[in-house]
Each structure stands twice: as structure tokens, then as C-alpha cells.
Structure 1
Amino acid sequence: MATTVADIARCMEAIAPAQLAEDWDNVGLQIGQGDWPVQKVWVALDPTHAVIKAAAARGVDMLVTHHPLILRPLSRLDPSDPTGAIIAHALENRIAIFVAHTNLDAASGGVNDLLCQRIGINPFGPMQDISKREFYKFVVYVPREHEARVLEALIACSVGVIGNYSDCTFRAEGVGTFRPKDAAKPFSGSIGQLTHVDETRIEALVPSSELPRILEHVRRAHPYDEMAFDVLPTVAPGRDIGIGRVGELQKPMTLDSFSLKVARALKLPSVRVAGASELMVVRVAVCSGSGSSLMPAFLSSGAQAYISGDLKYHDARTAEAAGVGLIDVGHFASEHIVIEALTKRMKGPLGKNHPDVSVAAYRKESEPFRRIGDND
């Protein structure tokens, strides 16, 4: 059986479950259909027009990117504007685009863990814990012959993430009863008569923010006109997960010495540093991408230094006043390291279950900023 976009999406869901994404984010399949056949996949940081054009020229069927092509709802689709042109080019060449953004940041083995590994930081937890987010146990009751269809609809919503496992559900068999009233349109049974039906109880953990979407999706797959379900408040189990990481160095270093170590680890000519040169650093906070919004989390983490990108002038002044240090490595450098690693992780399960698919990292992306000054 030919591999499809849906098969690649399932592989990515196991690596970076969608429910780990921030509420404001837009992850998952953004362009294409689940039943499109796939033989060639590229992995890239950004879904730029240059990447799409190169993918089309090389016969790529699916692009997996870290940054979303569509972050906010589009009010129109105009092929003459940059986003519209990318979408049009992708559709013309039948290239599906799948996004793993903040879910890949938060996931175990994701961007922040890789950043720690590259620099030599031993992480012991996230900067911003999301494992304490409000979760529900969603329970639905379905006639046994429709169990597979409803279960498939539920799993398609990325439910049941527990630690490093996704699609965790539970099923139990029983007998349901109901008596249809005059206005009912029963799937089985007759008006006014008590009906007994062999049913399956299916349950899974779902994040509260996703509950409306999950209900709508499951209702479409359920045969009853009045679907029976329960929503029970709970707390997500498993180890702490979240955005950013906090960890420790093997031995203390001054801020300037550590900054040089970071620059070398990421193969950068320089990094921006704020804070006292001789500040001793043992505990370090890390956030890939744009980390300015997590400054409060850094300041309360007990870390002496914070590595991130897109840090602001006032963040530097705040760090100075607090007696801590900032190391700004840039947005691109803090995240591009995930592309090769993600490609390798995808090759494992896809090579085993879908040997007809090739997965490759797109290697022509680069830092969009250039430095011009006296040394040029």
C-alpha cells in the first residue's frame, strides 16, 4: 500500500504530539490532503518560496517545517502576495506542508533538548511547565460495530499524550439502554421501546482547549443523533513537559567563557551577551527561537544565564538589574539544529514501516541577517 500524507503525519505526531503546542500556535497539516501519496519528504526550518520551488524541482511530495506557513487565519488567498504565492505553488505541484512548531520545542528530544545537548547543559525540567494544564478525560459510548470508526476519529485529534506516548486510549465493553421519545430519530430501536445495545466505552485524555474540536470531530463519526459522552476534569500524568529547559553545567564558568563555549558549539562567529563578564554560571535556562516572553520564567528559575534568540534591549537592562546574564544566539541558530536531528528521527519508523519513502534535510537555508561593519 502506498504511503500517504496521513502516514507521515502520524509519524510526526509520535515525535511531537500536537497537544504540546501553545494555544496560539497552528501546527499539523496546513497544505494538502491526508490521502495524497508520498514518496519523497523534505525537512526544513521555514516554508519559504525558495524552499517550495526547490522542492517542486526535485519532485518532493511533502515538506515538514518547524515554522508555520499559516499562523493566523487568512482573510483572503491572493497568489500575488507572498503567502498566497507559496500556497499556490505548493498546490500546483501537489506538495503537502506539515508543521511542528512549539510542540517540537516542548517535546522530549525536541529543539530545546537538542540545544542543551549541543551546548553541554544537563536539563532537569522545562522553564514553563505545561503538564499542569487543564485536561479532561473524554469518554464516549459507541455501538460495537462502529467502534473502529469512532476510535479512528478520536486518534486523528491527537489525544491521549502521556509522557513519550501518544494515542493512549482505553476501551471496555458493556450494554447501553435507551428509550427513544416521539421526536427522536434513533439509529436503532423503536419509538417508545426500551432498547439494549452492545456498546464500547472509549476514553482518552484531551486538553481542555481542544475539547470543542474533538467533540465536533467525534460527533461526525458517531452513528447516534444524540451521542452519549462524559467529560471528567483531571490532571495530565507523566513527567514535566513544557517550553524551554533549565539545566546545569558540569562545572561553573564565567559568563564570558560560557558565551564563547556557546558560540563555538553553535558554530557562530559571535553572540550577543548582557551581564557582568565575571558572573559565575552553573544553572542555565534555554529557550529556542524567540525567548523574550519567557524572561519572567527565567528570572524565577534560579538560573544565572539565559540562552535564547530575539532578546530585546529592555530584557538586557532587566538582566543587568537582576545580576544575571543573557546570551542571544539568534533565532535561526537556536532552531536550525533540529532539522538534521528530526530527519534522522523520521527515518527510523518510516524506514521500517514505509520503506518506499525517502526523507532528507533541506540544507540550503541560512541565517537571514548579514553583519556589515568595519571588519568587512
Structure 2
Amino acid sequence: MFAKGQTVIQYMEQLAPKHLAVPDDRIGLQLGSLQKEIRSVLVALDVNDEVVEEAIAMGADLIVAHHAIIFRPLKQLQTDNPMGKMYEKLIKHDIAVYISHTNLDIAEGGMNDWMAEVLGIADGVPLDEVHAEKLYKLVVFVPAAHADKVRTAMLDAGAGAIGNYSHCSFNVQGTGTFLPQEGTEPYIGKPGKLEQVEEVRIETIVPQGIRNKIVQAMIKAHPYEEVAYDLYPVDLKGRSYGLGRVGKLREPVTLAEFVDVVKEKLDVPHVRVVGDLNRMIGKAAVLGGSGSRYVNSAIFRGADVLVTGDIDYHTAQDALMAGIALIDPGHNAEKIMKAKTAEWLQAKLSDSRYDTKVAASQINTEPFRFM
């Protein structure tokens, strides 16, 4: 059995929730339809003509890419120019294109965590905070005999996480009253008779991203025909999410030695470097893609070096004066996402017993050539 397009995307959005993306980022379905079975998925960094030909050759129904194929609004779609021809080819072969960009960068277990991990950055935290997840208070009233079952369902679904603690809740016993109306089938009592039941009021904290999941788990475990519960926002800061990662290296190394690590682990033949190659690097920051404007964030976080792409001349001069080293492996270093995303998505589909296959693109989309 093959997964439907919407199912594949639901899994992708578990890895990279859409609400994590920065405002106005071009993410989501950009071309085609998800209302079909997906036999195979191609994961790519960029979508160019070679990648489209690769997708056609493997019979892909869906391309999941990091960089948008429609970045600026289209004023017309002409099929006699290179971009128009590529769009036409995708449409004719019924290949949908879905983009996961800054939401994948920001997500825990996503792009910047992958880059930090391979570079040996331990316990990385966001370099630049973008979101603080909203928190909600969930209150539900449960007959005492079912309190453990409902509480466990909610907490196992992710409720009650506070800092490094999980399964946090508060419980108060009391008496609930209700009068079942005609046509109801109450779990306790009879229609037309006022009931008093010993109940437990369970309170817990719910993160925005999994709010619906927790509520559904609660309702499924609850014995009542109509579940009495409250869900309201609270003025507390939840988990922080942001671009980049910064943390200590597992072992201090010289900048020259760290350059070799970057080249090997990110699979790039050359890098641009700013700083004294003999200086010791103990704390490093990394940000996939274009990170010139995050140099000050790296300085503020106490990083000795920032690894990021697309460093411009004046930013390099400013960094040199400020005393922070820079390593620019190019924007294409984000290609680490191809194999990582494909592996993650394939595992999810296989665990659900779908026959859909996921492959990482083998096309090198680096536009620059080093001479």
C-alpha cells in the first residue's frame, strides 16, 4: 500500500512543523497535487532541470526540497524559457513539489542540529531565537476511577513538559454535577436525573504544536459522552526555537584543524576562512545557508567561530576586527539535508507499513566551480 500525498506531508511536518518557519518564507506545496498515491519521493536541496530529470527517471510522484522553486510571485508562466519549461515538465509528469525551508532549519532534529552534530558541537542551543512556543493550560474533569487512564493518555501524548521535567500535572478531587437530557446515553446516570459524581480535576501544560494531538488522546481515553474540559493560553514562555546552533566543541582544536573538520563533514572541497589559523576554537556556531547577518549573534553568544555560507566582504572585515573567526563552506553545504531527510521520512513510512520509497537526490546543485 502506498501512502497518500497528504500522509507523506503530515510526516514531513512532524519533522519540520510549518509554524516554525519565519514570516513570508515560501514553504509548503508549491506545485502539483497531493491528492494521489505517492509511490516514490525524491528529496533534494534545490529543484533544477537535472533534479527534475532524476525524479522522472525514478518515477517520483513528489519532490521534497529545501529551497523554493517559486520564490518570487509569478507574473506569467511561459513554457519557452528555462524555468517555464521546468514547470511544464513537472506538471506533465504529475510531480508535486513541496518545500521545507526555514521550518526545517529551525526544527529540533532538523538542518542546524544535523550540521552541529557532524561538526562536533555538543548541546547546541539556538543561535538566534525566532519563536518561543505558546503554552496552553488544559483542564479536564474525569470520574475518579478513570483519572489515571486519562492522565496517562494526556501526558504520554506530550502534555506536562516543563523544562527538563515531563509528565507534570496537578490533581484535585471534587464533586461534578450534570443532568443528562432526553436522547443522551450517559456513561454514569440516567436521562432526566441530576447526578453527582466524584471527579478529579486534572491540570497540565500543553505546547501549541501538539495541542490537537493531546486533546484527541484525552477525549479517546475519557469515558464520558461529552467531555468537560477547558483549554486556554497562559502567559508563560515555552520552548525556544531559532536559527543556527551554538555550543562547545567536544574537544578544543585550532581553527586550521576545525577547517579540516568542516570540509570533511560537510563534504566541501574548499572553504573561505577569516581569522588566525592557529587560534584555539572551544565554542562554535553553525548556521546553514546564508548567515552574514548572524555574526553579531555568534559574538554575543561567545562563539570563537561561525560556520555559515555567503559571507560578504564587509562582514568578513567586521568579523576580523571583532575577533571572531568565520568559515564559509558555501550555501550548498546544506546538502546534508538530502540523506538525513530521506532517511527520516523513509523510517516513518516504513514503520507505518507503507510501500512508498524515499531517495536522496544524487545531483550536485552547487552553481559555483572552484578553479
Normalized against structure 1, the TM-score is what? 0.72
Give 1:45's aligned residue.
45
Match of 1:262 in 2: 262
**What residue in structure 1 maps to residue 72 of structure 2?**
72
CA distance in structure 2 between the partners assigned to 1:251 and 1:165 by the alignment: 37
1:221-253 C-alpha deviation (Å, 9 max, x unpaired): xxxxxxxxxx95755623x22110001112222
Q: CA deviation at 1:3?
A: 2.2
The 1:369–1:279 alpha-carbon spacing in structure 2 relative to 1, beyond 3 Å, is same
Larger Rg: 2
User: Partner letter of residue 266 of structure 2?
Assistant: L
CA distance in 2, matches of 1:256, 1:310: 20
Task: Identify which range, 298-307 or 80-89, moves more after superposition.
Answer: 80-89
Q: 1:6 to 1:138 in 2, by over 3 A?
A: farther
Query: Within 2, Cα distance between the matches of 1:66 and 1:201?
Result: 43
- Whether contact under 8 Å (1:108, 1:164) holds in the other structure is no
1:347 to 2:349 alignment: no
SS in 2 for 1:336: helix
CA distance in 1, matches of 2:235, 2:82: 43
Q: Residue deviations 1:187-232, cap 9 Å, x none?
A: xxxxxxxxxxx9889998xxxxxxxxxxxxxxxxxxxxxxxxxx95
1:295 aligns with 2:295: yes
Corresponding residue of 2:357: 358
Q: CA contact under 8 A between 2:32 and 2:96: conserved in structure 1? A: yes
Q: Structure 1 pair 71/202, CA: closer, same or farther in 2 (3 Å)?
A: farther
In structure 1, what is the equivalent of residue 275 of structure 2?
A: 275
- Kept after mapping to 2: 8 A contact 1:169/1:202: no
Unaligned 5+ residue runs, structure 1? 140-160, 174-197, 205-230
Residue 196 of structure 2 aligns with which residue? none
Report if the CA contact (8 A) 1:3-1:354 is conserved.
Answer: no
Note if contact 1:62-1:98 (Cα within 8 Å) is conserved in structure 2: yes
Output the aligned Cα RMSD. 2.9
Question: 2-side partners of 1:166 and 1:246: how far apart?
Answer: 29
Q: Which residue of 1 aligns with 2:330?
A: 330
Alpha-carbon distance change, 166 to 138 in structure 1, aligned in 2, over 3 angstroms: closer
* Preserved CA contact (<8 Å) 1:13 1:166: no
Does the CA-based 8 Å contact 1:39-1:357 persist in structure 2? Answer: yes
Alignment deviations for residues 249-276 of structure 1 (CA, whole Å, 9 cap, x no partner): 1222222222222223233333111012
Tell me: CA distance 1:66–1:200, structure 2 relative to 1, closer, same or farther (3 Å): farther
Deviations 1:334-361 (A, max 9, x none): x111111111101111012252211111
* Equivalence map 1:121-132=2 (5 Å): 121-132=121-132
Q: Which amino acid aligns with 2:335?
A: H
In structure 2, distance between residues paired with 1:233 and 1:82? 51
Quickly say closer, same or farther: Cα 1:232–1:121, change in 2 above 3 A. Answer: closer
**Cα 1:232–1:164, aligned 2, differ >3 Å: closer, same or farther?**
closer
C-alpha change, 1:279 and 1:260, in structure 2 (3 Å) is same
User: 1:3–1:357: 8 Å Cα contact kept in structure 2?
Assistant: yes
Asked if the contact 1:319/1:326 (under 8 Å) is kept, the reply is yes
Q: Which of residues 139, 146, 170 in structure 1 aligns to 2:215? A: 170
Aligned runs of 1:139-218 on 2, under 5 Å? Answer: 162=207, 167-168=212-213, 170=215
Distance 1:164 1:282, change over 3 A: farther
In the alignment, residue 16 of structure 2 is paired with which amino acid?
A
Moved more, 290-299 or 342-351: 290-299
Q: Contact 1:170 / 1:203 at 8 angstroms: preserved in 2?
A: no
**Aligned-partner Cα distance in 2 for 1:92–1:202:** 50
SS in 2 for 1:126: strand
Query: In structure 2, how many angstroms separate the alpha carbons of the residues matched to 1:202 and 1:79?
Result: 55
**C-alpha contact 2:46 2:365 (8 A) present in aligned 1:** no
Is this contact kept in 1: 2:136–2:207, CA < 8 A?
no
